[in-house]
């Protein structure tokens, strides 16, 4: 995995979010996924399970499950929503938005909130943008269960 050996610049900053649900927002390339990976590593070191999903890929897997025999898309969503460890969702909002995506996203976040399960979420969208572009119920749940961290700076992937 790309982020397996990556370390966030400020280790004390990472530690300050340990055992908290967090929503990491900011422009492309400012270090949201790197911070989430560093937090995930901290959980692993402390013997806590982490499930990492790329949200756009997860949505595509759910959609393709409709065409296959076996586990249903709902069963797959339940497995993620009720995972007892830390759920790390990378890039929420990057998926193609449909009613199905809204419904699944709401279901996962609502289940985690109701069960008081930890979550780390990254997005290029702010809570206000999620409220306007995706669903107010989703932004409300994120705001209610997560500490919001806005990362700023320039795109670290571009050498300029």
Tell me the pLDDT tens digit for each residue of 67-104: 777 778 899 999 999 999 999 999 999 888 889 999 99
pTM for the full model?
A: 0.90
Give the C-alpha separation, 51 to 89, whole Å: 8
Residue 111, pLDDT > 90, answer yes
147: Cα within 13 Å, side-chain hemisphere: 11
Give the C-alpha separation, 17 to 135, whole Å: 26
pLDDT digits (tens, 9 = 90+) for 28-56: 989 999 999 999 999 998 989 999 999 99
The SS3 of residue 18 is: coil
Residue 153, token pair as written in the block: 């700076």
Residue 68, token pair as written in the block: 């296959």
Task: Assess if CATH 3.40.50.300 describes domain 12-150.
Answer: yes
8: Cα within 13 Å, side-chain hemisphere: 22
pLDDT at 11 (0 to 100): 83
pLDDT at 3 (0 to 100): 57
End-to-end CA distance of the chain: 26
Give the C-alpha separation, 15 to 29, whole Å: 21
Residue 159, pLDDT > 80, answer no
């Amino acid at each position: 995995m790309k982020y397996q050996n990556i370390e966030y610049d400020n280790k004390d900053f990472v530690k300050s979010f340990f055992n908290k649900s967090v929503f990491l927002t900011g422009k492309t390339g400012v270090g949201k996924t790197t911070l989430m990976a560093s937090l995930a590593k901290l959980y692993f070191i402390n013997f806590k399970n982490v499930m990492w999903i790329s949200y756009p890929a997860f949505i595509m897997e759910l959609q393709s499950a409709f065409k296959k025999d076996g586990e249903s898309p709902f069963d797959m969503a339940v497995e993620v929503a009720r995972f007892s460890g830390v759920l790390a969702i990378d890039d929420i909002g990057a998926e193609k938005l449909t009613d199905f995506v809204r419904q699944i996203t709401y279901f996962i976040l609502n289940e985690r909130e109701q069960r008081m399960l930890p979550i780390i979420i990254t997005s290029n969208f702010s809570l206000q943008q999620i409220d306007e572009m995706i669903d107010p119920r989703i932004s409300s749940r994120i705001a209610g269960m997560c500490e919001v961290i806005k990362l700023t700076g320039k795109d670290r992937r571009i050498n300029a």
